[in-house]
Amino acid sequence: MKSLAEKKKKENIVEYILYMYRMEDLLRAYRFSMDDIDQYFLAHAKISKEEKTASYQWLENMAMEMEKHGVKKEGHLPRTQRYVDSLAKIHWELVKSDRHYFHIYQKAKPVVMDFIMAAGNKNPGHEVQVFVNGLYGLLLSRLNGKQVPPEMSKAAEVFGEALGYVNLVYMSRQMERKFKS
């Protein structure tokens, strides 16, 4: 778990965000009972004993962090949300400066508006948060074996295209920073 999260963080920040959301929901599903997570989840994971120990500690720390930040029932860890916010900054920069991305965004914008309207009084956050939430909703539907409605598939397609482009820019900038250090 921990090593997979670290790998995703280095290779694809959007996948990392979705993975972290999934781990938060895993903790919620087990009502933050580390005994249950150990017995019913980690015990069945096909990972080494060392990785199980590291994952247990990692999930336990995540549970404490969620408690500290008041996101046990809903919401996401601030450290994960900072990545979403970083992607949002890149998104707005690209909307203003990159014609190709602007075209991608134009395809996503009507779907974003539909999601915002469907949220009612609940604030869905900025557009990149809507993109991420849309992809995460699709992921959860598939994991739970639910039929994915055509409008959700369309949303995932346009959100995925936009996030893929933003992710590419984010990851290339991370590489540039790494080589400059």
Q: Does 167 map to a domain?
A: yes
pLDDT higher than threshold 90 for residue 180: no
Q: Does 54 map to a domain?
A: yes
Q: Does 49 map to a domain?
A: yes
Q: Does 102 map to a domain?
A: yes
Q: Does 16 map to a domain?
A: yes
Q: Are residues 83 and 63 in the same domain?
A: no
**The predicted structure's pLDDT at residue 6:** 94
Q: Are residues 37 and 59 in the same domain?
A: yes
Q: How confident is the model at residue 136 (pLDDT cuts 50, 70, 90)?
A: very high
Q: Are residues 26 and 114 in the same domain?
A: no
- CA distances to 12, 15, 86, 115, 153 from 31, in Å: 29, 24, 30, 29, 30
d(CA 1, CA 54): 8
150-180 and 127-143 helices cross at what angle (nearest 10)?
A: 120
Q: Are residues 92 and 171 in the same domain?
A: yes
pLDDT higher than threshold 90 for residue 122: no
CB 92 within 8 A of CB 86: no
Section 13-30 average pLDDT = 97
| Domain termination residue (choose one: 68, 94, 113) | 68
Q: Does 162 map to a domain?
A: yes
pLDDT higher than threshold 80 for residue 181: no
pLDDT higher than threshold 90 for residue 152: no
Q: Does 126 map to a domain?
A: yes
Helical (H) or strand (E) element with 40: none
Provide the residue count of the chain: 181
Q: Are residues 60 and 86 in the same domain?
A: no
d(CA 88, CA 5): 21
Which sign, positive or negative, has the C-alpha torsion 95, 109, 161, 179?
positive
Taking residue 116's Cβ as centre, other Cβ atoms within 10 Å add up to 15
Q: How confident is the model at residue 82 (pLDDT cuts 50, 70, 90)?
A: very high
d(CA 168, CA 172): 6
Q: Are residues 64 and 85 in the same domain?
A: no
Section 8-16 average pLDDT = 97
User: What is the distance, to the nearest Å, from the Cα of residue 30 to the centroid of all Cα atoms in its chain?
Assistant: 20
- The total number of structural domains in the chain stands at 2
Cβ-Cβ contacts under 8 Å for 177 (sequence gap 6 or more): none
| Domain range for 53 | 2-68
- CA distances to 7, 10, 20, 102 from 137, in Å: 23, 23, 14, 24
Q: Are residues 86 and 139 in the same domain?
A: yes
Q: How confident is the model at residue 28 (pLDDT cuts 50, 70, 90)?
A: very high
**The predicted structure's pLDDT at residue 124:** 83
Q: Does 73 map to a domain?
A: no
